[in-house]
Structure 1
């Protein structure tokens, strides 16, 4: 190593943290140059930088930060950074890490190096799954057994971090793991015991259940840490230990089931020492117990004492509140204060726990004991008991099937809306609001005459908190009220709400203006009579710049105004649209402050609603708002650029611990705003189409950037989905400066690039669908080589998807054979993941279909390869139904779009597959197969003729198949498609078929009621055939005439297109001239003229 160069690097590491921006930027650039000049030398310098104890601590810390980011955070790269290093550099890094772990003395850097070492172990294993860095784990075991406190903790940190990616490998290769955990859990130093518990948590939450169950013998020592902590008043350790146990319960609940009675006693004992505990510590023992029972409710349903004990613990938690009611509670500043209070409010905790108990156990079993507790509490003289009882009662509405089960208690709740204590009144009001939300129309229809006056009176309460909460609960009520009820109370409520929105309490004003929106939704179009008054009241308020505490109110006011606009409809809103739009534009341009200002997302949502209601009439507003919206979107280069390593020193702050480089500012506001911007632009594009063309270039750049937005799956989905919509506009507005094909090529390249780094399967499906839609929009523009390359990528995706499915199935086979609720829940998760993979594969199949459709003459090689190499295994009789469905759908597209000319000898293989799988007991496979037979009759011409008669018989079998245990909706669609395929063969194939007999059979199974597209095709075919060839239905002594009349009688004329209705009338006129047919028409009460109802 060049000591002179290394000295320069050390100096650069210090300069990166300089306060002078220019010095810092120059140092960053120079380090980047070093990295680009010699990749391996750069990493060797960085490792030496953190390993050399003679280097300044700050430089060591920065070297470690850079290494973590370069090696670990760039995991999207293919190949990974670690794999691109030479073997010599990798060995050097490993040796230096081991040296530091063995000899480091500075505790500030020790744990961070331990975390880094574990992540390198994972990186090594990612490159080679058989490569376990045993030297690291052997060193850690020595540190744990022989080292000082810092070294022991560091060794456990290595294990804890490594478990995130290597748990199954470690447990297989480390026979001493159980003994190591057993010894460290019992360590006299409770901090070491806690570190051991955290390592066990990482292990149990990532390892396969078959391995986890071998460690159940450690449970007593794991729980004992909490017992030791409360005895020694180590409250921080107590909190962390219970949080860790809860995390383990969520991942591996079976670990706790057999010992639940003992656990119940241990944590009940801890909970009962509430005089020493803060609100969080009071909550955690109860949460831990509920976390166990909600994963296996039989712990409650088989033991009434367990249920009673947990209910008592929950109720005790709710009763233990301060006697004094402080001013901050009576008159909260804003909604943020309410949310902040909820984080330590035992009443809120208790409500959540009651809800979880009701959710996990059979309602009939748990409601009775809860209602008994509630009645006792509400009848108690102590206001704390009443408050707890009402809050507990509020949670059961969701689990009541009929309101009669609790209707006798509702008058009691209403009565307590007038109680002398404000917290009791608040609880009663809350109960009514929650019931309105859960019981919906059952409450509003049956109790509006008593509930609305009670809430209205509470909206006049002397305490602002009660008044505000009553407004919010009235909002819940109105959201679920009929138009008749809304209109009944509208005028009186509005008069009062108009006063409340001018309150000096932003919390009260916000709830009041939200209530107006709910009232408008209830009244729907009839709210138009009050909309002008609403505008007159609200516009003067929102067009003034709001103090900070009133920004959320103003945002909610914008939402309320635009929701009301949607309710009254465009014809009514058109008169008001200009003044409302001007107000929103004023706010957008002049009233918005820094990121985090709640007005920002509300103003965006407001414009989104205006676009939805005004549709293309919204276009003139775009020039006023688009520059500002696009500017807002450009404020987040760090968030959008997920493929770029963040600025080296942006997280460094000399006032913070040097090693807290993982700490980052709360980005939730920025993420939410990006999400909102993506949604609003999506709506603009969808609603305005070609009128949005002036903004296509900037918007396409934005959505291309957002398509890699790692912070939000939804944003990536929206961005991907929007690209073909942009393409559609480009195609509509094509000119010499804007051509669709270059856009399409760019989008497809971007989307395929994104697929390489995407880890979320549902997002992959959106990306694949976007590729499909782009190709479908532009048509034939790909070369045959590009098509074949694209096919290879898509086939590889299918292979990777199959591998993920195989892993899930393997996991299920090894770990999911039990019959407990937990096993059932785990199977549900696995089934959901497998269904996501199936959906992804169907999207890939549909993409092949679009390629076939748009590039028919370039798909010969692709189709041949697919049918020979991929599809053949998917349609095998031993393949799963999901695979058969994929194969059949792909073959259908090949037959429909390529036909025998392109498929050549493969065409007959496709027909044979359709015939064989038309008998499948899976309705989706059968659906695709019978559809394929129908399409083949169209594209096959004379080649299909030899199959016609046999195909009709096969289709009869499919039509007459009994549903059995099949999904009834899927069964009905499969049956309709079989009937439709039968009709297609009659339409496109003629010999050798007994046409009259075939039509007699067809008429017995129409009209179709489920697949409406096929229903229209079949209906048109029968009417046209009867009109053009009436003897088919009137010959042979009118053998088919009664069935034809019955078919006509069963048609829903409202669903017929005008041309079909015209042809039907011509047919009826023709039939009326035949005496027998005329009599049958009269008997069926069918007469002319037919009209749409």
Structure 2
């Protein structure tokens, strides 16, 4: 073979030659200079050279892709380090689908195979870390294109595992690179790796304990995290938990060896791992040494601020990763063991504030401190920890740590203590123990702090803490100190700075709401101060103070009652309307004004209509606010705009303004409140509000906006319905319930389909059902079709989520998810029932389609809610469609019979009720099931726990079902069944069934049913006793009509029976029944509540 090779010759070379060292040498020398120059030009600082090289590269990629890839791959073995690095980067572009140079699909199988092999061989020989990592990234990118990976790239896994398994003989550079490749391929190879867990555990542990290279140790930890996240939960995967200890070891060694760049890398891995696998990592929490070693990083003087932040970030991430179900092993249940240490670390950071002069001269909370990174981060962590664990779990640590800081001469420690107390108290769900000494210590400290007029920011933080702490104090704590608290707060209103006044007013509002009628005696004094503020604080800078003062006036007024408050209503509404019309967008004052106007609407009810024209325009402007977010500039750390925050999302730093979304959600809530309170009188704004709120059900940026908007739909529909029916507004611009629901329905269905939050999905479904209650009769066939299709989708989605929960059941899952899933299923059932009741037999074609979704829900392995929904939907179909539904009996009735003897009371009740309905409407189609049905119902009635509270409803429904078999299938029902039924009467737990069953009894008696009365009327005494007992029962067991018929029958006995027979019959009654019978004859029966010793009581007239 000559020195020069043509392109065609190159592509036809046998594989054994391609892989030979001699040919590689030749290829490297082939047109080496021009191609090398092309690569160098790609790295050039000259724009012209670089652009020319890119154009040439694009030309080759389109016309000679295989030659370009092969020649580039040969440079992986170039003696020039930069050339090898550039070749690796360029090849990665050839393998990346979103790249302009994506070439992989256009390459021949031969070329693809060659590239796969040469990449591995070149990596094996690489000595420089940067180049090795670039090559490993290229290999990983190539692997991501190959699906399934193993059959298409079998050499890769063998190569990586052999390298990792012989770590003691491998250069650290190569080992780190191969661990990087493993991290990227673990997920597509999960099924292959699962059986290899014992080997992998040994390999990874060896790499994690690498004796010389911290880079290898960190790479091994990263590979471990990727492996765990790739494998499905199983006992085999749990065996990898033993390697979690290496995180602590690597951190400790890095600190001891002063390799401080390693620590943040490991902590970041832990943070990501804790967020992704909170349940798997729970053993870390059991391992106190590891948690403590991470928390101990706070005490190391060697470590910079960022590392301490990452350490705290890790434990906070663990705390908030997941809410456990009661009794579970979730992380959140164990973190409280370390709360004092975590809280102490947060407090230390909160001490890091600005200098004394800035503190003393502060005039507002926003500018009160020269806030450090420590302070800001600590405040964020405290909020997250409180939200994750709940204030109650932190209160114990607060009781232990805070009292020493309340009276500390260092104002920074006082401030940190008060701020912490405020944040913790805000999220407490339980009242604090009145027997504890802590409330007294807190209130005394806060009262003393409010006297520090030389430190206005201490006064403000104390008032803020008081506002939140009061909410968890009961009357026993509040009443003795109410006077001193009010006195101190009024003094702050009189003499404090504006910042202090704002916090004092907020605290006073909370005190008034907590004290209720006890606050009445302070009404005049408090109102005098507040009205002074409302009438005199007219400067623009006073708007927050005005809004808070108006809110406080309302709270104080509501505690005093309408008589006192009515004279101040006009002033308050004037201030609120003036404020609302003058506020700028995104002004934090808006939220206070919105809440205050909502409270006033609730208080004034229809009297609020006088102000509606003034408040609606700015309110709708808040509802229509657009979200404000985007990608933040990398070199900008702070933003001048108030309320702007940054967060990381999918690797990008995002700029967002959460206050806009909060205002939007609150405005939607206020709007809903107006509709609920004003009802039909809201009609003039109905159309406009419907047009605004309906699209917001799909508002993806804020879940509360979606929830509130969904809840508003049925309220708007109902109010419109009432207004039109009552003719309140003659000119309604063609607006009707039918048109409004036609506008709402597509949005409701689309939002249900797209909603990812299960709780919100349940709320939207509930709103749909409430709308259907008003409008189902107006639907067109295509609209019914759309609803049915969405119910199919929801059932399928619910089943998929159930499967996912089953996969993680071995560890833990969120208990609320099951609750919301049950709600979704219940609402699906309600929706289908509404359609069935509306369209009856016309709905059967849709039910035919739904059956394939409903019948799988009937099996015993399904949840109670799923089975109940399917059983009840079928039962409703039978009840509404009658004989037209009998064709479904063979598919559904066997499940009803099985459900009759289920241990769950809800399933049992659904089963027996359904059997009764099928007996009533099934005709001859029910006949084959009668024998089994009687046996199942008999089991329910004779069950030892039949009348236990949980099962009593099922018992009543079983008795009713038995009666229906006797009534509608008399020929097939044995006489014994009627006697059993009679002996079960009366029933008294399900009042609706009781009325129906006792009416059936009355009808049978009136027509002298021989099987009921028995031979020689042997059951007559029993029947008379039943009538007397039913008529004497305290609750309504019969309708008024049935009651009159029973009384008529009893009175008629005197005329229809011989005297001797009547006397003999009556003598068989108990004494109390005889007295009751006489009272009925005299029309003087008086009903009394049941008592254990007697089910009725006779009182003489």
The alignment's TM-score, normalised by the length of structure 1, stands at: 0.67
Q: CA 1:757 to 1:313, structure 2 compared with 1: closer, same or farther past 3 Å?
A: closer
Query: How far is 1:794 from its partner?
Result: 0.8
Helix, strand or coil: the match of 1:63? coil
Alignment-derived partner of residue 860 in structure 1: 886
Q: How does 1:114-513 map to 2 (within 5 A)?
A: 114=140, 137-138=157-158, 140-142=160-162, 148=174, 151-158=177-184, 161=187, 166=190, 170-187=193-210, 189-190=213-214, 192-201=216-225, 208=233, 210-230=235-255, 231-234=258-261, 236-237=264-265, 239-244=267-272, 246-247=274-275, 250-252=278-280, 255-256=283-284, 259-260=287-288, 262-263=289-290, 265-273=292-300, 276-278=304-306, 280-281=309-310, 283-284=312-313, 287=316, 316=348, 319=351, 324=356, 326=358, 330=362, 344-346=376-378, 349=381, 367=396, 371=399, 373-390=401-418, 395=424, 402-405=433-436, 406-409=438-441, 410-419=443-452, 420-439=454-473, 447-458=481-492, 462=496, 465-482=499-516, 485=519, 488-489=522-523, 491-492=527-528, 494-495=530-531, 498=534, 504=541, 511-512=548-549
**Aligned equivalent of 2:675, options 591, 608, 611:** 611
Alpha-carbon distance in 2 for matches of 1:576, 1:582: 11
Kindly indicate whether the alpha-carbon contact (under 8 Å) linking 1:685 and 1:725 is maintained by their aligned counterparts in 2. Answer: no
SS in 2 for 1:1029: helix
Which of these two proteins has the greater Rg computed from alpha carbons?
Answer: 2
- Assess, with a 3 A threshold, how the Cα gap between structure 1 residues 881 and 138 changes in structure 2: closer, same or farther: farther
Match among 717, 720, 736 for residue 765 of structure 2: 720
SS in structure 2 at match of 1:175: helix
- Say if 2:792 is the partner of 1:752: yes
CA distance in 1, matches of 2:367, 2:930: 66
Q: CA deviation at 1:177?
A: 2.0
- Work out whether 1:795 is the aligned partner of 2:840: no
Asked if the contact 2:502–2:544 (Cα under 8 Å) also holds between the matched residues in 1, the reply is: yes
1:324–1:906 distance in 2 versus 1, CA, 3 Å: farther
- Distance change in 2, residues 1:723/1:266 (3 Å): closer
Which range moved further: 383-392 or 302-311?
302-311
Partner of 2:836: 776
- Equivalent residue for 1:1071, pick from 1072, 1084, 1094: 1084
- Once residues 505 and 586 of structure 2 are traced to their aligned partners in structure 1, the CA distance between those partners, rounded to angstroms, is 19
Contact 1:542 1:557 in 2 (8 A): yes
Q: How does 1:808-827 map to 2 (within 5 A)?
A: none
Pick aligned residue for 1:917 from 940, 956, 959: 940
Structural mapping, 1:951-970, within 5 Å:
none
**1:87-119, CA deviations, whole angstroms, 9 ceiling, x for partnerless residues?**
x99x99998997798589896897598489679
Asked whether the 8 Å contact 2:900–2:911 carries over to 1, the reply is yes
Cα deviation for residue 270 of structure 1 reads: 1.6
SS, match of residue 541 in structure 2: coil
Instruction: Say if 1:331 and 1:463, in contact at 8 Å, map to a contact too.
Output: yes
Q: Is the 8 A contact 2:749 2:790 kept in 1?
A: yes
Q: Does the C-alpha gap of structure 1 residues 873 and 617 become closer, same or farther in structure 2, counting only changes over 3 Å?
A: same
Q: CA deviation at 1:306?
A: 7.9
Q: Does the C-alpha gap of structure 1 residues 588 and 726 become closer, same or farther in structure 2, counting only changes over 3 Å?
A: same
The alpha carbon displacement at 1:916 in A equals: 0.8
Q: Within 2, Cα distance between the matches of 1:256 and 1:212? A: 15
User: C-alpha separation between the residues in 1 aligned to 2:279 and 2:841?
Assistant: 50
Quick check: 2:320–2:332 contact (8 Å CA) kept in 1?
no
Q: More displaced, 448-457 or 328-337?
A: 328-337
| CA deviations over 1:664-697 (Å, ceiling 9, x no partner) | xxx634x554444333334312433374433333
Match of 1:563 in 2: 599
Q: 2:1012 aligns with which of 986, 992, 1000?
A: 992
Q: How much has 1:514 moved relative to structure 2?
A: 5.2
Question: Residues 847 and 197 from structure 1, CA distance in 2 versus in 1: closer, same or farther, beyond 3 angstroms?
Answer: farther
Rounded to whole Å, the distance in 2 between the matches of 1:566 and 1:66 is 65
**Match of residue 869 from structure 2:** 843
Gaps of 5+ in 2: 1-7, 9-68, 74-86, 124-130, 630-656, 725-735, 802-820, 1006-1010, 1014-1018, 1055-1061, 1088-1093
CA distance in 2, matches of 1:673, 1:380: 44
Distance 1:437 1:159 in 2: 53
Could you tell me how far 1:780 is from its partner in structure 2?
1.9
Give yes or no for contact 1:514–1:556 (8 Å, CA) kept in 2: yes
Partner secondary structure for residue 418 of structure 1: coil
Matches of 1:112 and 1:675 in 2, distance apart?
46
Change (3 A) 1:860 1:173: farther
Once the two structures are TM-superposed, the CA of residue 549 in structure 1 deviates from its matched residue by 4.6
- 2:569 pairs with 1:531: yes
Partner of residue 1029, structure 1:
1049
Q: 1-side partners of 2:985 and 2:412: how far apart?
A: 67
SS at match of 1:721: helix
The residue matched to 2:840 in structure 1 has which SS?
coil
Retained in 2: the 8 A contact 1:934–1:980?
no
Matched, 1:709 2:751: no
The change in CA–CA distance for 1:448 and 1:796 in structure 2 (over 3 A counts) is same
CA distance in 1, matches of 2:409, 2:467: 24
Residue 695 (structure 1) aligns with: 740
Local SS of the residue matching 2:409: coil
Consecutive unaligned residues in structure 1, runs of 5 or more: 4-46, 68-84, 126-130, 640-666, 806-836, 961-971, 1010-1014, 1049-1065, 1075-1079, 1088-1093
Structure having greater relative contact order (Cα 8 Å, sep ≥ 6): 1
Paired with 2:383 and 2:460, the residues of 1 have a C-alpha distance of 14
User: 2:783 — aligned with what?
Assistant: 743
Cross-structure match for 1:620 = 684
SS in 2 for 1:855: helix
Alignment of 1:931-942 (within 5 A): 931-938=957-964, 940-941=966-967
Answer yes or no: is the 8 Å Cα contact 1:264–1:289 preserved in 2. Answer: no
**SS in structure 2 at match of 1:693:** helix
Rounded to whole Å, the distance in 2 between the matches of 1:201 and 1:285 is 15
Give the C-alpha shift of residue 360 in structure 1. 8.3
Cα offset, 1:265, TM superposition: 4.7
Number of equivalences:
891
SS of match in other structure, 2:198: coil
Task: Decide which moves more: 339-348 or 174-183.
Answer: 339-348
Residues 727 and 777 of structure 1 are in contact (CA less than 8 Å); yes or no, is this contact kept in structure 2? no
Closer/same/farther in 2, CA of residues 1072 and 246 from structure 1, 3 Å limit: closer
Native 8 Å contact 1:717 1:767 kept in 2: yes
Q: CA deviation at 1:848?
A: 1.6
Q: CA deviation at 1:992?
A: 2.9
Alpha-carbon distance in 1 for matches of 2:569, 2:145: 60
What's the CA shift for 1:316? Answer: 4.6
Q: Give the direction of change, closer, same or farther, for the CA distance of 1:1082–1:606 in structure 2 (3 Å limit).
A: closer
Q: Report how far residue 1040 of structure 1 moved.
A: 6.5
Q: Distance in 1 between matches of 2:665 and 2:369?
A: 20
How far did residue 564 of structure 1 move?
Answer: 1.6
Q: TM-score, normalised by structure 2?
A: 0.66
Match of 2:608 in 1: 573
Please state how far the C-alpha of 1:178 moved relative to its aligned partner.
Answer: 0.6
Contact 1:616/1:688 (CA < 8 Å) preserved in 2? yes
